[in-house]
Amino acid sequence: MSPRRTRLALDPVVVRKARALARRAGAPVVKLARTHTTVSVERAVLRLAGLQGADVEGIPWANRLVDAVRADCGLEHGVALPVWDALLRDGAPDLAVLAQKAAAGAVTFRVPEGRPAARAARAATAAARRGIARIDANRATRDRLLRRYGDPPKPWVYLIVATGDIEEDIPQAQAAAREGADIIAVIRSTGQSLLDYVPEGATREGFAGTYATQENFRLMRAALDDVSKQLRRYVRLTNYASGLCMPEIATLAGLERLDMMLNDSMYGILFRDINPIRTFVDQRFSRQVHARAGIVINTGEDNYLTTADAVEAAHTVTVSQLLNEYFAREAGLPDEQIGLGHAFEINPDLPDSFRLELAHALLARELFPDAPLKWMPPTKHMTGDIFRGYLLDGFFNLAGAMTGQSILLVGMMTEAVVTPWLSDRDLALQNVRYVFNAAGRLGEDFVPAPDGFIVRRAHQVLAEAVDLLERIVDDGLLDAIGDGTFGLMRRPADAGKGLDGVVRHAPGYLNPATDILEGRA
């Protein structure tokens, strides 16, 4: 299916109005993000400048250094000026030594003025440039490998691997790639999003996932490069840039050449009770890094349908997609890097459930023709009946074929039963291969009746999305989130985890990474 082909006859005036409303709803939040920083944004600056390592308690030196600066002179001016001023005054050979001295109380920080401030700004900018140059080099390497091996046709087959042990993840990921997976997603250990630090080094234990660390990123990237060379097919790597350390994880992903990152503007707010302002500030910086690194983001609209009814709340998914698109574009991401999310979560016992799924999937495809949409398999209504589950996954794959989805997450028949075995993944990949061999080009022939059920439903959902956006513009996005508009979760702007890590900029605030990413440095 050509992404420009329209089968729903969406009114372009209504579509333009929806995007204009999303822009009006999101603009005040962007203003907040532009005038605030967070402890994680400041730590990301230090990581971009090369700071690695942790103390004997496992707390990263980036955390220790930011905490020391905050205690001495606050973060209203950013971490760059105080840190590089101290580095130049103290004569420490690098940031790690400075952090160790700061933790021992052997160095103090100030906000420099005049010539010392200018010298510190130049040194900080040079250090940030070196980190961004490494990200640029990784992007060039990806582009070179894609030219050498070629890009697989869409939909890209996306498969999750995460045992908790990076040494076990690697052979499973390579096996999945050999069986046909185009994207390997290493999901994070449960609860990592609530840690206000990034663990250091390779990890061999985690619950329902593997810790996202720079070393784990490096190890998995190297393993997938090896299997890409064997298969003559570039295999993409995905992880999660969300939670309290979203900016840092995004930076580490760019430094280690990950290809995709889960990065949703509201997921952490709704499902992890992270403060809304903290999340919006962090996500803007993280998306700027993703834009520079060529990393495709995956948003999390599918999660709303695990807590709200997939039919009644369908329009909230569309609203979130429009907001995510606006926030992503504002941060510099082109459409081809905005992997908006949606999901196959309508109750299969509902009459016409498959027709409803087609309407919702096709609406997303036609509203965002250039976005690599990520289509999520059924989870909420998987009952433990593996035969029924396998059939539902087949219907999910068929809907993806008929509506031209871009990234197809492989559904598991053992969803809600056990952590999938390798054999379960093999059967799931066979399901995908069968459907796309048999019906992969069905989208060329699938044209819903102009006045039929599917077209009417798509228009209804879009109209309801416009109505909701109008209310959000009137009430404010932060208030809408506080009132439980999305996923039935009430998250007020003055509460939630991480609020104490949000700081308003003072005059003279400096973030050399943001200046470079926005073209000001």
| Local confidence pLDDT in tens for the 521 residues of the chain | 344 567 999 999 999 999 999 999 999 999 999 999 999 999 999 999 999 999 999 999 999 999 999 999 999 999 999 999 999 998 889 999 999 999 999 999 999 999 999 999 999 999 999 999 999 999 999 999 999 998 998 999 999 998 899 999 999 999 999 999 999 999 999 899 999 999 999 999 998 899 999 999 999 999 999 999 999 999 999 999 999 999 999 999 999 999 999 998 888 898 899 999 999 999 999 999 999 999 999 998 887 777 889 999 999 999 999 999 999 999 999 999 999 999 999 999 999 999 999 999 999 999 999 999 999 999 999 998 999 999 999 999 999 999 999 999 999 988 777 777 778 888 999 999 999 999 999 999 999 999 999 999 999 999 999 999 999 999 999 999 998 888 778 999 999 999 999 999 999 999 999 999 999 87
Out of 158, 234, 240, 267, pick the active-site residue: 267
Give yes or no: 182 in active site: no
The Cα–Cα gap between 240 and 283 comes to: 12
Out of 158, 169, 374, 509, pick the active-site residue: 374
User: What's the total number of domains in the chain?
Assistant: 1
> Half-sphere exposure of residue 206, counting CA atoms within 13 Å on the CB side?
28
Exposure string of 236-252, with b = 16+ CB inside 10 Å and e = fewer, is bbbbbbbbbbbbbbbbb
Q: Where are the alpha helices (H) located in 192-275, listed in sequence order?
A: 214-231, 246-255, 267-272
**Does 339 map to a domain?**
yes
**Does 148 map to a domain?**
no
The amino acid at 234: Y
**Does 488 map to a domain?**
no
**Does 235 map to a domain?**
yes
What CATH number is attached to the domain comprising 263? 3.20.20.440
> Can you give the residue range of the structural domain that contains 392?
160-454
Reported pTM: 0.94
CB 374 within 8 A of CB 158: yes
Give yes or no: 509 in active site: no
**Does 428 map to a domain?**
yes
**Does 287 map to a domain?**
yes
Give yes or no: 302 in active site: yes
Q: Would you state the pLDDT for residue 5?
A: 64
Residue from 294, 292, 161 nearest 223 by CA: 161
**Does 473 map to a domain?**
no
The Cα–Cα gap between 293 and 56 comes to: 32
**Does 115 map to a domain?**
no
Out of 264, 302, 393, 424, pick the active-site residue: 302
Q: Which helix (H) or strand (E) holds 330?
A: helix 314-330
